[in-house]
Amino acid sequence: MAQAERKSEPMSDAVEFGANRLASLMEMQRELLDTLEKIQRDRLARTMEETKVASELVAKMTSARSIPEIMTIYQEWIAKHAEMFAEDSRKFMDDSQKIANTTVRLLSGGGGGAGT
């Protein structure tokens, strides 16, 4: 009887270890999906902002009365676009780093969650 208990102990430990690893992997996958969902929401918000900026450009262009006024409108639009591009670049790098960090933890089996 004591021998049967000793045999089930390693099996029980292995099952518990496997369950903890699975819970940890599920937590990291959830974190990765949450990150991707946030990125998607941010991109949608940025698309809406870009649409607004383009719409404002069209409205200003149709109300312009002279070539110098049109040039000023285009310069403002280009400056705004350059600023948005810089923000998008920073955001892309930050998001890429978050995804890479989560993926590395997922593939290495390390990191937070129920397994640690």
Question: What's the domain count of the chain?
Answer: 1
Mean pLDDT (the chain) is 84
**DSSP notation for 12-54:** HHHHHHHHHHHHHHHHHHHHHHHHHHHHHHHHHHHHHHHHHHH
CA–centroid distance for 69 within its chain: 40
Task: Look at 112 and 87; give whichever has higher pLDDT.
Answer: 87
- What residues make up the domain containing 100? 12-108
Residue 2 lies in a domain: no
Range from 8-17, 74-83, 86-95, 99-108 carrying the lowest mean pLDDT:
8-17
Residue 7 placed within a domain:
no
Question: DSSP code of 111?
Answer: S
Tokens representing residue 60 in the block: 């200003």
24 pLDDT higher than 50: yes
Q: Is 26 a residue whose pLDDT tops 50?
A: yes
